Amino acid sequence: MINILSAWTLLGFIAVNILFLDRVKCLVNWNGNDWAMSCDFRGNDLSDVRTSSELCGGKCAQTQGCTHFTWTSYNGGTCWMKSGTVSKSDAFSTSDSAMICGVLGDVNTGWVRVWEDNFDGNGGVDLNKWDFDVGGSGWGNNEQQYYTYNRWENARCELFPGSTNGRLIVEARRENMANSQYTSARLRSKANWTYGRLQIRAKLPDGRGLWPAFWMVTIY
């Protein structure tokens, strides 16, 4: 850049444009680390699908080869999935306040899986990977249930019918136990991390008084 600026000929025009592009990139403000408003990535289009902006990142994650994406309001809402190695510094600002761009994590880093449990089996929880919090003390939230230890009725692994893929079922039951009128389970992984990326696929119930959760907690 110093050599270009010192030429003071036709290269001066090139230098102005380079400076402008650098400034535009700086205007992209990332939210939640992996997405931003009013931005786009150049080229590398893989495919597109009509969807809401909230679901665009998930569509990219489900599409083989997709590493980053852009959502626009075109055609009622379109997610443009893109391929190739990029970083957030490759995004550029746009004048469209509704446009969203994002990356799937830090695609240049290369995540390494260090722990997982797919619950592929029928029976109890793997006690080499999980421990249980036990009791009915309210847990600081005035919770009404009593958490049991490795009790099949409250926590168990089951295979999907006709499949080798499993699932963990955590079941709350209306029954009396230790001065509580409900029982449930609260599982805690034996592994722990300071930093990392955690993923879960779960089906959660809805209804008054229900509060299913996937918590990041301190080691104890």
What does DSSP assign to residue 19?
H
Q: What's the pLDDT score for residue 82?
A: 94
Contact (CB, 8 A) for 167 and 124: no
pLDDT band at 194, cuts 50/70/90? confident
Of 131 and 58, the one with more pLDDT: 131
The lowest-confidence range among 100-114, 148-162, 203-217 is 100-114
**In the predicted model, is pLDDT for residue 109 greater than 80?**
no
Nearest alpha-carbon partner for 103 in 70, 64, 55: 70
pLDDT band at 200, cuts 50/70/90? confident
Contact (CB, 8 A) for 151 and 185: yes
Contacts 24+ apart (CB under 8 A), 118-121: 118/165, 118/166, 119/157, 119/158, 119/166, 119/167, 119/168, 120/157, 120/159, 120/164, 120/165, 120/166, 121/157, 121/159, 121/166
Average pLDDT of 5-9? 32
If DSSP codes are grouped into helix, strand and coil, which group holds residue 59? helix
C-alpha triplet 169, 175, 176: angle, nearest 5° = 130
pLDDT band at 92, cuts 50/70/90? very high
**One-letter amino acid identity for 65?**
G
Q: What's the pLDDT score for residue 115?
A: 86
**In the predicted model, is pLDDT for residue 32 greater than 80?**
no
Of 21 and 181, the one with more pLDDT: 181
Of 45 and 34, the one with more pLDDT: 45
What is the CATH architecture assignment of 30-103?
A: 3-Layer(bba) Sandwich (3.50)
**In the predicted model, is pLDDT for residue 87 greater than 70?**
yes
Contact (CB, 8 A) for 67 and 59: no
Place of tokens 């680390």: 33
**In the predicted model, is pLDDT for residue 11 greater than 60?**
no
CA distance linking residue 160 with residue 118, whole number of Å: 12
Q: What are φ and ψ of residue 201, in 5° steps?
A: -120, 120
What does the domain layout of the chain look like in residue ranges?
Answer: 30-103, 130-189
Q: Which stretch, 9-23, 40-54, 76-90, 145-159, has highest mean pLDDT?
A: 145-159
Average pLDDT of 79-100? 90
Where does 73-214 show beta strands of DSSP type E? 78-82, 92-93, 100-103, 130-133, 145-147, 155-159, 166-170, 173-177, 180-184, 186-189
**In the predicted model, is pLDDT for residue 127 greater than 60?**
yes
71: β partners: 79, 100
